[in-house]
Structure formats: structure tokens, C-alpha cells
């Protein structure tokens, strides 16, 4: 250990831009055993590891780094798969620079340990070598219904099944995974990785009911009456509106509609052809991770030009710096300090441009963000054949919540007891984006794990 003085931080090999923009394959390779061991060997095994405290799951990071440095894959696999329901997913999609790697002691000039990439390596290499997480089979007569198959739902199901409790999962889409499947693009997370986890849960005894929207195809009450407890993980995918004139034009789209349709196209199933943007000028409004995903998807789809309009500057972008850099490399044009004012329409009512005003950033406000001021008379237009709005998400609030005494707060988030994850109705639990607002895969996974702990304690006492 402590090889950081002689071994530099190494990121996994990234595919060349000219190659990777031709398809939707993942852009990073997975470390091989030697690279993973050498990189793990850089860890100094801090007495008080900050990385672990910054990881929402409190993964046993220093311990599995040590095992990998010693080439004990089996123990590392066990350690990594215990507090995390799908480490190979988090290793790929967590914003490591803000979480574990951001707080690594070596992130002071030496270069943080590549924790995320080593985490992905452990489970991928483990699966390749026949290792699988332990499930005892359904040993209890208790049954829990899970509504929504995103990371929150998959996580609660994982930990309930590990305790021998039966799970029925209801999902309104045609595939499980939530935003892991129909949000995060393939170039960040290969869908086979998600399908493999879903299959493991089905083999462990989970009943998966697809194409079933609770509240429409099946009533909430019917499900509640046939189960001992319920978990709600319905996410937050209602697009926020910018309130711009012209934003209702037929060629102005919501980010999720675009990403979902292109993913369907990649699955080779029916999708709406209006989302084929080949040879078109695409303008994306917003500067977060979802905006980066839309921009990079449009590039791969052969758009003529792909422009991001963001009202602050590069330093103030809310998304991951890594994904911004990847988008830059792939040829996305960024227009910073540009506040969109109107979608300009032609006589037929279709969008043809976006008008924006230039902004400047001043002193920081109470929240710590720089105040933004618009520059009078700086109106500028950028041509657009299609416009994608990517301004964040609010929870969808299904009517079955209020009808069953499940309270929500002022912005629609489900209110829970943060210790137990129980909602205001006994026996019904919730977590993930429908409780936090649009957040992260890892926090949804944490909520699912903690809810399962409470449900198990209450059902198996
Ligand atoms: C484009 C995009 C990219 C992202 N990239 C990242 C990233 O790189 N890293 C990261 O950490 N996070 C990322 N996120 C955020 C992350 O995906 C979410 O925080 C996470 O998926 C939330 O998990 P969840 O289980 O709460 O909800 P979701 O993943 O939204 O899953 C909810 C599920 O519930 C289903 N559902 C809803 N209502 C019903 C109903 N009535 N009946 C049955 N089923 C229902 C939905 O169909 C969906 O499958 C991204 C988000 C988006 C939109
Ligand atoms: S789950 Fe995320 S924050 Fe935790 S160790 Fe893995 S990559 Fe880091």
C-alpha cells in the first residue's frame, strides 16, 4: 500500500472520440486486474477514511481497495456487494468527483484513488469469474409490493430478498430499471448491466409485473390488500417549465421524451420518429447532467450542430465536470452566460431559433451562487430546427397518495420519517427521487436499502 508516491492516478482507457461518437457503447473500458491492483495499492488506508464518510452508502472502500491490491477478488466482491445493491452501476454513474473521490485524502495534488472505476472492476471481474451475490430464496410468508423499478425499487427489493422476504415489483414501463434504463444513456451505462441485476432479482424470487401503472392498470388498494407492506419509488420525472414564449411549439421537446425515445430506438422497439435529429440544428436549454446526456445523444444521432445554452458560466454548471468535458471532446458547442428569452416561431408555428440575452455574474447571494444580471440590448439568436428543454424535474404526484393518507410537501415530495422511511400511512414506505426530488442513483439506492431494513424489522419481529 501507499504506492501513491511512485504510481500516478490512472483513469480507465477512454474510447477515441471518432470511434465513440459513432455508436452508443460505453466510453470507458473496465480496469484489468493489474491496473485495478496497482491503483488500489495507492491507497494510504487513512485511519479516518473521508471517502467512506462521503459515500451515501458508506461503502467499505479502504477495505475493498486493500483486498484488490492483494488480488483477493472474492473478498473484495463480498465487501463491495454488501452495503451496495449494484456497485458496478454506482462505479459507472456516481459523480465521484463530488462524493468519495472528492474527499479522498490524496485529492490534494497527488490525485484521488480511482474509487469508482475500481468499484466497477470488482463486480464486473467477479461476475466474469462466476461470483454472485448471496440470496437465500424466499423463506418468509411475508410479501412486499414495490411500485417503481428504478434504483430505489431495485435496492429495496435486493435487501428484502436477502432477508428472505417475497417481493412483487410493479413497473409501468415495458422494462425495469427506471432512469437506469430510460434516462441515463447507454454510453454511460450499458443496459445489459441493468438487465443482469434485474435477472438476478427474478432468480432470487422477485415477481416483476411490467406494463402496469399503479393507479391505472391496477389499483393501489388492491395491491395494498394483498401485501404486508409497500414501498413507493415512483421517481420525479415531470419536466420543469421555463415559461418561455413559444415553448409549446411542436418541435420543442422535453429532455426525457427525447432520451426515452432514443433508448427505445437502441432497443430496436417502436419509437417516435420525430426524435430522429439527423442533419438538424439542435439547441438544448439547460446545463445539468440531463442536458449533457441530450447533447451527446444528439451528436451520436448525427445532428448537424448541437448547441447548449446555459445562463451561467462553465464554473457554475450544476452537472458533473467529467461529463461536461466528455461533451466538449465530442464536439458540443457551449454558449455560456446566455439566458433564453423566447423560442422564435415561423408562420406555421414551428420553432426556428432561440432568442437569448447575455448575462454577467456578480457577487454571491445568500445561497452562495453568483448573482446573475442580464445585459440590456444584448439579444442574440441561435438557429434551431429542434429545441430540447432540460431544466430539471419535479415529482409526479399520483392521486393514490392523497387517497391513501400519504402526505406530500409543497413541491410534491413524499413526506417520510427519515429514520424508518415510513410515509404518513403505516406500513407504506417510500424513497428515491419521489421523496428527495431529482437526485442521484446512489441516494435512491441508499433509501431503498434503509427502507428494507425498517420493513424487515417490522415484518419479521
Ligand atoms: C437523463 C438523466 C441522467 C442521469 N444521470 C445520472 C448519473 O449519471 N448519475 C446519477 O447518480 N444519477 C443520474 N440521474 C439521476 C438518477 O437517475 C435518479 O436520481 C434515480 O434514477 C432515481 O431513482 P428512483 O428509483 O427514485 O426513480 P426512477 O429511476 O425515476 O424510477 C421510478 C420508476 O417508477 C416507475 N413508475 C412511476 N409511476 C409508476 C406507477 N404509478 N406505477 C408503476 N410504476 C411507476 C417509473 O416508470 C420508473 O421506472 C440522471 C437522471 C436523468 C433524468
Ligand atoms: S457508491 Fe458512489 S460515492 Fe460510494 S464508493 Fe461508489 S462511487 Fe463512491
**Delimiting residues of CATH 3.50.50.60 domain(s) in the chain:** 143-237+394-459, 241-391
Instruction: Give the global pTM.
Output: 0.96
- From the alpha carbon of 151, which atom of ligand 1 is closest? 25
pLDDT in tens, 406-420: 999 999 999 999 999
Options 3.30.2040.10, 3.50.50.60, 3.40.50.180, 3.90.190.20; which CATH number does 143-237+394-459 get?
Answer: 3.50.50.60
**Ligand lying nearest the CA atom of residue 102:** 2
- What gap in Å lies between CA 94 and CA 253, rounded to an integer? 27
Mean of all residue pLDDT scores within the chain: 96
User: Which residue, 49, 181, 197, is CA-closest to 115?
Assistant: 49
Class of domain 241-391: alpha beta
CB 95 within 8 A of CB 200: no
Residue 135 contacts residue 161 (beta carbons within 8 Å): yes
Q: 115: CA distance to ligand 1 center in Å?
A: 24
Residue 3 pLDDT greater than 80, yes or no? no
- Kindly report the protein residue whose alpha carbon is nearest to atom 3 of ligand 2: 55
C-alpha 41 – ligand 1 centre gap (Å): 35
Judge whether residue 434 has pLDDT over 70.
Answer: yes
pLDDT given for residue 2 in this prediction? 66
40-54, 68-82, 123-137: segment of lowest average pLDDT = 40-54
Residue % of the chain over a pLDDT of 90: 91
Q: 3-128 adopts what CATH topology?
A: Fumarate Reductase Iron-sulfur Protein; Chain B, domain 2 (1.10.1060)
Residue 41: per-residue pLDDT: 94
Q: Where in the chain is the domain with CATH 1.10.1060.10?
A: 3-128
Q: Which residue's CA is the nearest one to ligand 1's atom 15?
A: 440
Q: Give the pLDDT score at 196.
A: 98
* Mean pLDDT within 338-348: 97
Q: How confident is the model at residue 221 (pLDDT cuts 50, 70, 90)?
A: very high
Q: Is 42 in the pocket of ligand 1 (CB under 6 A)?
A: no
- Expressed in angstroms and rounded, the spacing between residue 51 Cα and the centre of ligand 1 is 25
Element containing residue 255 per DSSP (H, E): helix 255-266
How much of the chain exceeds pLDDT 70, in percent? 100
pLDDT of 5 above 90: no
Tens digits of per-residue pLDDT, 263-319? 999 999 999 999 999 999 999 999 999 999 999 999 999 999 999 999 999 988 888
358 forms bridges with which residues in the sheet?
Answer: 338
> How high is the pLDDT of residue 6?
81
Mean predicted confidence (pLDDT) in 76-94: 98
Ligand 2 in reach of 96 Cβ (< 6 A): yes
* Ligand closest in space to the Cα of 122: 2
Helix (H) or strand (E) holding 121: helix 115-128
Amino acid at each position: 500500500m501507499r504506492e501513491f508516491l511512485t504510481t500516478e492516478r490512472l483513469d480507465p482507457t477512454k474510447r477515441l472520440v471518432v470511434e465513440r461518437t459513432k455508436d452508443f457503447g460505453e466510453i470507458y473500458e473496465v480496469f484489468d486486474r493489474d491496473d485495478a491492483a496497482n491503483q488500489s495499492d495507492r491507497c494510504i488506508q487513512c485511519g479516518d477514511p473521508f471517502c467512506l464518510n462521503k459515500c451515501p452508502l458508506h461503502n467499505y472502500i479502504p477495505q475493498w481497495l486493500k483486498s484488490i491490491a492483494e488480488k483477493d477478488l472474492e473478498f473484495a466482491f463480498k465487501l463491495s456487494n454488501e452495503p451496495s445493491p449494484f456497485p458496478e452501476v454506482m462505479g459507472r454513474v456516481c459523480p465521484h468527483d463530488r462524493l468519495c473521490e472528492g474527499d479522498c485524502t490524496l485529492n490534494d495534488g497527488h490525485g484521488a484513488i480511482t474509487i469508482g472505476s475500481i468499484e466497477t472492476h470488482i463486480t464486473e471481474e467477479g461476475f466474469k469469474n462466476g461470483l454472485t451475490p448471496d440470496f437465500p430464496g424466499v423463506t418468509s410468508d411475508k410479501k412486499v409490493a414495490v411500485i417503481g423499478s428504478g434504483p430505489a425499487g431495485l435496492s429495496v427489493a435486493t435487501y428484502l430478498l436477502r432477508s428472505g422476504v417475497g417481493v412483487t415489483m410493479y413497473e409501468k414501463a415495458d422494462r425495469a430499471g427506471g432512469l437506469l434504463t430510460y434516462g441515463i444513456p447507454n454510453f454511460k451505462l450499458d443496459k445489459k448491466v441493468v438487465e443482469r441485476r434485474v435477472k438476478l432479482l427474478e432468480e432470487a424470487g422477485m415477481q416483476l409485473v411490467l406494463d402496469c401503472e399503479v393507479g391505472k392498470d391496477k389499483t393501489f388498494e388492491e395491491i395494498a390488500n394483498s401485501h404486508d407492506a409497500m414501498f413507493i419509488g415512483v421517481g420525479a420525472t415531470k419536466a420543469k417549465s421555463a415559461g418561455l414564449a413559444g415553448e409549446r411549439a411542436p418541435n420543442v421537446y422535453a429532455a426525457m421524451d427525447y432520451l426515452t425515445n432514443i433508448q427505445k430506438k437502441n432497443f430496436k422497439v417502436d419509437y417516435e420518429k420525430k426524435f430522429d435529429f439527423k442533419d438538424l440544428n439542435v439547441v438544448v436549454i439547460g446545463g445539468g447532467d440531463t442536458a449533457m446526456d441530450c447533447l451527446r445523444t444528439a451528436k451520436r444521432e448525427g445532428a448537424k450542430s448541437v448547441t447548449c445554452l446555459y445562463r451561467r458560466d462553465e464554473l457554475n454548471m450544476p452537472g458533473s465536470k467529467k461529463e461536461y468535458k466528455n461533451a466538449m471532446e465530442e464536439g458540443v458547442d457551449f454558449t455560456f452566460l446566455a439566458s433564453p428569452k423566447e423560442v422564435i416561431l415561423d408562420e406555421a408555428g414551428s420553432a426556428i431559433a432561440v432568442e437569448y440575452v447575455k448575462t454577467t455574474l456578480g457577487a454571491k447571494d445568500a445561497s452562495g451562487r453568483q448573482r446573475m444580471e442580464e445585459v440590456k440590448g444584448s439579444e442574440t439568436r441561435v438557429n434551431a430546427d429542434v429545441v430540447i428543454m432540460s431544466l430539471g424535474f419535479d415529482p409526479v404526484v399520483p392521486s393514490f397518495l392523497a387517497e391513501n393518507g400519504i402526505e406530500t410537501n409543497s413541491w410534491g415530495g413524499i413526506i417520510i420519517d427519515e429514520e424508518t422511511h415510513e410515509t404518513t400511512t403505516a406500513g407504506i414506505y417510500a424513497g428515491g427521487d419521489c421523496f428527495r426530488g431529482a437526485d442521484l442513483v446512489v441516494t435512491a439506492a441508499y433509501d431503498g436499502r434503509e427502507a428494507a431494513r425498517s420493513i424487515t424489522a417490522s415484518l419479521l419481529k
